[in-house]
Chain A
Amino acid sequence: MSVVRGQDGRVLAPFGRRRTVVVSTRKVGAYVLLELSDRDGPPADPGQFHMLATVSGWGAGEDERPFLPRAFSPMGSSGGHLWFMLEDVGPGTHRLTTLKKGEALWVAGPFGRGFTPPPRGARRAILVAGGIGLPPIVAWSRELTEQGRDDTTLLLGFRDAAHALVAAGFAGAQIATDDGSAGHRGYVTELLEAQLDGDPHALVYACGPPPMLEAVRALVAARGVSAQLALESGMACGYGACYGCAVPLAAGGYARVCVDGPVFDADRLDAVPV
């Protein structure tokens, strides 16, 4: 499906949710990789996201949940296919990680605004991902490579080696794990600090759990470094209707993660809600 962009440059979503089919699932360490055939959806920009809900068995989990669709940024989006990385952490992700090939899934999106490229010929890009925040960073890394930028640095943080297994395919990436069972022992933000020590003018792109993003935000704010953060938030709709995904702004008031983000310039944010 062809890409239509809106006035602010985002890839527009088809109106309404659409039926897609699971093409493959694969367990990699702690994660499940899900491939969908999405013939009626356009390819998304890195950092945009989709709302997912299974056609059957949505609501059949603990506490009669899930009820609302769940937001995920794809790792890849091309040729009528979408690739997601999931971890079973609640009733929504539990249902999604038990999907079988051939099952049907409701998909809406792509929603939100993705990453903005660094200026041509400009500074080095450092891409930072924490755990489940990996997919949009992977998509963005691939996009930057396709644009001919060969100076990006990939920093990936995970809880442990079982979670880090998914990073095996990324040659040249620096890995950190909380327990030291793979790569650097400690937080990925420590790797970022070391990189910024060597290159204080780099551009930072980050996605990960809220505490990690808040650490990145505080770090780049203290050093005057430009950064784009891809946030996650609980949300009911994904397209600006529910106002549930409020994030406090430095200038006061709130933005909606779904329509104003999920990618924000770090200096626009007051704090990443944790």
Chain B
Amino acid sequence: MTAVDFCGIALAHPVVNGSGTFDAIAARRVFGDALLEQFPFSAYVSKTITLAPRAGNPPPRLWEAPAGMVNSIGLPNKGVEAYLAEDLPQYAALRVPLITNVMGATGEELAAVTAAVGERPEIAAIELNVSCPNVATGLDIGSVPAELEAVIRRVRPATAKPLIVKLTPNTADVSLCAQAAEAAGADAISLINTLRAVALHPGGGARRWLGGRQGGLSGPAIRLVALAQVAAVAERVALPIIAMGGVQRGRHAAELLSAGATLVAVGTESFRDPRAATIIQRELAELPRDDRAAKGQRRDGRAGSPVYYPANEHKTLDQGQQQ
């Protein structure tokens, strides 16, 4: 295993979960203590928590896509108060650092949730979900750099804990958003969130299938979009990056780490195999890596994570196409 330092948090290896893709409390009901003994992630990222409880979107909430899926779950959660009182004590059993993901519809709301979460010593870091409209300005917080910077400046004083900003890919230039987050005092960046997508009713016509009308595409279909966006962000900011998007194998994780990420998150693949992250992490650990390359990885002079190289069998095209 390859220990990693992430914002001063010591992690046993570089594989975590994407927010909202693994419910550790439900998983313990289903798998029992085996979940604790074989917990696949080096840190646990909670689903998105908001100030007030949310029921989530009406069903249907899922659509299967080519090499992926569209979800329109609508961030159901019990609200920050019940989360801290009921869920947090259960997460303590996981024995890995906890990262709580929070969202708000205004800078004030996001600062209030962040402050409430930030008071709790059990929480190691806070991830901001900015993939939502700001009801005060009507702009998507995460997709407009100036809006994003203003909101994070409002949230930053609310906690001394590491603040991770989870960027949306549904923007003109994600690296400008990353720079805005860095300028406003973020400690880390995570990307990519799901790509906005729509599914029509199989019965025909223009009717929408999803109860929430639109959703987000995830899975291997978006893997190379993630690679492009992670590489673009890594070139423009010095902050550590949690990279995610369609990771199914160790070499996919290695590609994102090579592009400049410090950690890799597994999401949709955990739906297909609850233990996928363990297999990914083991495959990753067996890949050849070049620590020398790590020294040049961060432009602020601090030590970076090791760079991994994909396995040699990787080919861009089938042999027949390479004539």
Q: Using a CB–CB distance below 8 Å, which chain A residues touch chain B?
A: 4, 6-8, 10, 12-17, 53, 59, 63-69, 106, 108, 111, 233-237, 239-248, 252-254, 256, 259, 273
Contacts and interface: CB of A to CB of B under 8 A. Distances in A.
Contacts of B35: 15
Contacts of A246: 56-59, 61, 76
B26 A64 contact: no
A16 B35 CA distance: 9
Chain B, interface residues (CB within 8 Å), range: 35 or more
Interface string B65-92: 1111101010010000000000000000
Interface of B: 20-23, 25-27, 29-32, 34-35, 38, 47, 55-62, 64-69, 71, 73, 76, 219, 268, 270-275, 278
A108 B271 contact: no
A247 B274 contact: no
Nearest to A106: B273
Nearest to A66: B64
A11 B27 CA distance: 13
A245 to B, nearest CB: 8
B64 A65 contact: yes
Contacts of A66: 64
15 contacts: A10-B29, A13-B30, A15-B274, A16-B38, A67-B64, A67-B272, A68-B64, A237-B271, A241-B23, A244-B62, A245-B59, A252-B55, A254-B55, A273-B59, A273-B60
A6 B76 contact: no
A242 B73 contact: yes
Interface centre among B25, B56, B76, B272 (most CB of A within 10 A): B272
Nearest to B60: A234
A195 B25 CA distance: 41
B67 A67 contact: yes
A108 B273 contact: yes
A10 B30 CA distance: 8
Contact of B26 (A15, A241, A244, A253): A241
B68 A67 contact: yes
B66 A63 contact: yes
Contact of A15 (B21, B61, B67, B275): B275
B260 to A, nearest CB: 28
Contacts of A65: 64, 66
B31 A13 contact: yes
B56 A254 contact: yes
A243 B31 contact: no
Given A237-B270, A237-B274, A254-B56, A244 B27 contact: no
Contacts of A254: 55-56, 59, 76
A69 B58 CA distance: 22
A8 B60 contact: no
Those 10 A-B pairs whose CB atoms lie nearest each other, nearest first: A240-B26, A16-B275, A64-B66, A244-B62, A237-B271, A236-B271, A12-B32, A15-B34, A239-B30, A15-B31
